[in-house]
Amino acid sequence: MATQHTKQQLRAKIRWGIFGIFALLLIALAYDGPTYANRVIDKVNNTVALGLPRIPEEPFALGLDLQGGAQLIYEADTNAIDPAERPEAVEGVRDVIERRVSGIGVGEPNVQTAKVGDTYRVLVELPGVSDVNAAIAMIGETPILDFREENNVPPRDLTEEEQAQIDTYNTDAKDRAETALDRIAADESFEDVAKSLSEDEQSKNNGGYIGFVSEQNIYPEIFAWAADAQEGDVSDKLVETDGGYEIIKRGGSQEGDVQTTASHILICYLGSRDCEATMTKQEALAEAQRLYGEANAENFADLAKQNSTEPGAEVTGGSLGTFGPGTMVPAFEEALNTAEAGEIVGPVETEFGYHIIYKEAETPSTEYEISLIHIRKLTATDVLPSQDPWMPTLLSGKSLDRAEVVTDPQTGQVQVSLLFDSEGTALFRDITERNVGKQVAIFLDGSVISAPVVQTIITDGRAVISGGFDLTEARLLSQRLNAGALPVPVDLVSQQTVGASLGAASFSSSVKAGIAGILLVMIFMTLFYRLPGFISVLSLTVYIAVSLAAMKLIGVTLTLAGIAGFILSIGMAVDANVLIFERMKEELKDGKSLRGAVEEGFLRAWTSIRDGNVSTLITCGFLMFFGSSFVKGFAITLSLGILVSLFSAITVTRILLRFIVPWFTERGNVLFLGAKGREEV
pLDDT the model gives residue 650: 82
Portion of the chain with pLDDT greater than 90, in percent? 9
Q: Does domain 259-364 have CATH number 3.40.50.300?
A: no
pTM of the predicted structure, to 2 decimals: 0.47
64-83 pLDDT, tens digit each: 667 777 788 888 888 877 78
Q: How many C-alpha atoms does 194 have within 13 Å on its Cβ side?
A: 26
In order of 132, 436, 536, the CA distances from 607 in angstroms are 52, 70, 19
* 214 within 8 A of 256, measured Cβ to Cβ: yes
What ranges do the domains of the chain cover? 69-141, 160-257+368-378, 259-364, 390-484, 499-663
pLDDT at 354 over 90: yes
* Cα distance between residue 279 and residue 271, in whole Å: 9
At 217-271, the pLDDT tens digits run 788 888 889 888 898 898 888 989 888 999 899 998 888 888 889 999 999 887 7
Four-point Cα dihedral 476, 478, 484, 487, nearest 10? -80
Q: Which residues pair with 124 in a beta bridge?
A: 72, 111
What is the per-residue pLDDT across 121-155, written as a single tens digit (0 to 9) for each?
888 877 777 667 766 766 665 556 788 998 877 77
pLDDT digits (tens, 9 = 90+) for 559-609: 777 777 777 777 777 888 888 888 888 877 777 777 787 788 788 888 888
CATH of 160-257+368-378, picked from 3.40.630.10, 3.90.1170.50, 3.40.630.20, 3.10.50.40, is 3.10.50.40
499-663 folds as: Multidrug efflux transporter AcrB transmembrane fold (1.20.1640)
pLDDT at 371 over 70: yes
- pLDDT averaged over every residue in the chain: 80
**∠ at Cα 63 (60, 66), nearest 5°?**
90
Q: In this predicted structure, which of 183-187, 495-499, 508-512 has the lowest mean pLDDT?
A: 495-499
3-class DSSP state of 629 = helix
Average pLDDT for 493-499 = 75
Which range is least confidently modeled, 186-200, 591-605, 611-625, 659-673?
659-673
Checking if the pLDDT of 556 tops 80, the result is no
Confidence of residue 464 (pLDDT cuts 50, 70, 90): confident
CATH class of residue range 390-484: alpha beta
Residue 242's CB: how many other CB atoms inside 10 A? 9
Tell me the sheet residues that pair with 120: 76, 115
Domain 259-364 in the same topology as domain 160-257+368-378: yes
- Going by pLDDT thresholds of 50, 70 and 90, the confidence category of residue 680 is very low
How does DSSP assign 341-373, residue by residue? TT-EEEEEEETTEEEEEEEEEEE--EEEEEEEE
For the ranges 58-67, 160-169, 329-338, 405-414, which has the lowest average pLDDT? 58-67
pLDDT the model gives residue 479 = 65
Which of the following CATH numbers is that of domain 69-141: 3.40.1170.60, 1.20.1070.10, 3.30.1010.10, 3.30.70.3400? 3.30.70.3400
